[in-house]
A = this chain, B = another copy of it.
């Protein structure tokens, strides 16, 4: 269950330091960001322009979309290509690294769908008090 975490060494206490330098922790937190995976899933189909993404995801502000794209770009999961012209066009696309991320993400999604009922039931039980 350690996901390659420093916590593999379960015998010894885990420090904040170890937890934060662990490569898996960063990935897990990236996955937890609200719109990142959704953007990746759109780009998995084909490249998109900025406003195109903005329109595709109803309710996401440009401010947040920009930050999301920058983060994904910084991690090397997507590429940003500027095509000069009138009007200018910037194209976002998955990189090889981004594509390689697809599989583990799909596994997680599959698990979520497969166990959706159980999770809902657990929550209802918990919230119901009992």
A residues adjacent to B (C-beta < 8 A): 1-5, 7, 10, 13-17, 19, 23-24, 26-35, 37-38, 40-45, 55-60, 73-76, 97, 100-113, 115-116, 118-119, 121-123, 125-127
CB distance from A75 to the nearest CB of B (A): 5
Q: How far is the CA of A37 from the CA of B16 in the complex (A)?
A: 14
Pairwise interchain contact B28-A31, C-beta atoms closer than 8 A:
yes
Residue of B nearest to A15 (CB): B58
Q: Which residues on the B side are within 8 Å of A7 (C-beta)? A: 38, 41-42
Q: List 17 A-B contacts (CB under 8 A).
A: A1-B106, A2-B109, A3-B37, A3-B106, A3-B110, A4-B109, A5-B109, A7-B38, A14-B56, A15-B58, A16-B58, A16-B60, A30-B32, A32-B32, A32-B33, A76-B123, A97-B118
Q: How far is the CA of A85 from the CA of B101 in the complex (A)?
A: 49
Q: How far is the CA of A13 from the CA of B102 in the complex (A)?
A: 21
Residue of B nearest to A99 (CB): B1
Candidates B23, B31, B116; contact of A23 at CB < 8 Å:
B116
